[in-house]
Structure 1
Amino acid sequence: MPRLDHINIDVSDGARMARFFAEVLGAEDGFRPPFDFPGHWIYVDGHPAIHLNVVARQSDFPRGMVNHVAFGVYEFEPTRARIEAGGWPYRTTGIPDSEIGQFFVEGPEGLLLEVQFRRERPARG
């Protein structure tokens, strides 16, 4: 059965983007094979889930075909503390009629990151 293995993002500042993922997700910049172009592999829960290609460009990408990238499920308080400690702008919302809450965090270079958390399931009337 096919499953998503990783996302690949073109960035102009690989170190800053790697730091963003570390601060928000607790992810780690780890081993990357010796490709002939610069980049980073970001590990989430021991898996190289985010591949960053460092490219030259003059401005941030506008949000386009891919609106955002999502990871979950994390605990609310530690996640909020990491986001706020990094100074990243965010908003919270949730999936209607579910126990899934969402942080939408504005990252470097126009990246929007969703981080899900568990919340109490709303009571049904």
Structure 2
Amino acid sequence: MTLTLNHFTVRTLDLDATRDFYQRVLGLTVGPRPAFPFPGAWMYRGDHADIANAVVHLIGLDSRDPDGLKAYLGDRDAASLQGSGAVDHVAFFADGLAAMLAHLREQGVPVRERTVPDLGLHQLFLEDPNGVMVELNYPAAEKAALQA
């Protein structure tokens, strides 16, 4: 069996801020999304014609009309939506470490860095507006080049 990550979904009380984070910070774009009976957005990493590029699905909670979401995906207590819940973090492979670090500074996004020498990875950890931890993995050689 071959298994690859298709997408991850964030339920949010602030759809606009969450969509803005994934656009502004990670460079994803809003693309086509089915006509679900609840608010949301699908964030793409590339061509909108390829559904595999819809890597982040956002679900907006509408307290005035929660029935569509409840019927489709089930109910969740809004208090459980802060942070990552049972999921610790989501991770992406990336390149362009120097540009991303400059971008994060410019955007005022706090970041923690760590290098995993055994794996040859340099990691950035940041949180979206809902407290979901996002990990960006870069080749460790990119970090070494910045320190040279």
Q: Distance in 1 between matches of 2:80 and 2:109?
A: 19
Q: Is the 8 A contact 2:11 2:81 kept in 1?
A: no
User: Structure 1 or 2: larger strand share?
Assistant: 1
Normalised by the length of structure 2, the TM-score is: 0.73
Matching residue's letter, 1:4 = L
Matching residue of 1:48? 54
Shift of 1:3: 1.9
Task: Report the aligned-residue RMSD.
Answer: 2.1
Q: How many residues align?
A: 122
Aligned to 1:31: 32
Provide the identity percentage.
30
C-alpha distance in 2, partners of 1:52/1:63?
A: 14
Code of the aligned partner of 1:66: V
2:90 pairs with 1:69:
yes
Unaligned runs of 5+ in 1: none
Q: Distance in 2 between matches of 1:63 and 1:4?
A: 17
TM-score, normalisation: structure 1: 0.85
Q: Quick check: which one's helix share is greater? A: 2
Contact (CA 8 Å) 2:120, 2:139: kept in 1 or not? yes
Deviations 1:10-54 (A, max 9, x none): 011112111111222211111111111100100013310100111
Structure 2, unmatched stretches of 5+, are 48-52, 64-77
Q: Which one has a bigger Cα radius of gyration?
A: 2
Q: Deviations for 1:76-124, whole angstroms, at most 9, x for unmatched residues? A: 11111222222111111022323210100122111111111112298xx
2:102 equivalent in structure 1 = 81
List, as ranges, runs of 4+ consecutive aligned residues in structure 1 with deviation greater than 3 Å. Answer: 56-60
Could you tell me whether the CA contact under 8 Å between 1:88 and 1:107 is conserved in 2?
no
Counterpart residue number, 2:129: 108
CA drift at 1:58: 6.3
Give the aligned partner of residue 4 of structure 2.
3
Are 2:117 and 2:140, in contact at CA under 8 Å, matched by a contact in 1? Answer: no
* Partner Cα distance (2:55, 2:84) in 1: 20
